[in-house]
Amino acid sequence: MAAEQWYVLGIKPKRDNAVLELLIARGVDYYYPFVWVQRYPERKPKQSPYFPGYVFVRLEPTGQQVADLRWLPGVKTFVTYGDEMVDVPESVMRSIRLQVGEINANGGIKPQHFKPGEQLIITEGPFKGYTGIFSAKLSGGQRIRVLLQMLLNRKVTVEINESDAKRK
């Protein structure tokens, strides 16, 4: 019998609550992280999924649960690499839980409201320290598109969390 591991299950838009209820009814161990998001200064923060459209589930990779979950109403599919379901190591799950806990402990995600063409400095992630130009706010509320100036005068468009940038 294979040991239980974490996997990522894709959810159809606006079906997250229904899928979570079905997972609870089937006794599936899951993690659907939420963060507090302050979208408008004059309103109260709201909880928002940290990974919209995805839920982490813990199960045996060869068990009947996998087949059953693929056909639940509201489920798209498991995240795969080729034909294999991608497992998420326990260390990554701990990191995600810590990061979500820190974000919420610090008051959640606060909007920056950048303007197109505004210069930014990336403060977190793989592009930390790079300077870029704000291009657009992406749907979902927490992601932005930034044009980075790379080596040899090459410009690259990247998508990052809005909270990972600040005004220059």
Q: How far is Cα 129 from Cα 121, in angstroms, rounded to an integer?
A: 6
Do the two domains 5-105 and 119-167 of this chain adopt the same fold? no
Q: What is the pLDDT of residue 67?
A: 83
From the centroid of its chain, how far is CA 121? 21
Task: For the domain made up of 119-167, give the CATH fold.
Answer: SH3 type barrels. (2.30.30)
Which residue ranges make up each domain of the chain?
A: 5-105, 119-167
pLDDT of 42 > 70? The answer is: no
Under DSSP, is residue 100 helix (H, G, I), strand (E, B) or coil?
helix
Q: How far is Cα 17 from Cα 23, in angstroms, rounded to an integer?
A: 10
For domain 5-105, give the CATH superfamily.
NusG, N-terminal domain (3.30.70.940)
DSSP letter at 40? S
Q: What is the pLDDT of residue 141?
A: 62
Q: What is the pLDDT of residue 2?
A: 65
pLDDT of 1 > 80? The answer is: no
Q: What is the pLDDT of residue 40?
A: 65
Q: How many CA atoms lie within 13 A of 9 on its CB side?
A: 30
> Taking the complete model, does pTM exceed 0.75, yes or no?
no
Structure tokens belonging to residue 77: 């599919």
Q: What is the pLDDT of residue 6?
A: 95
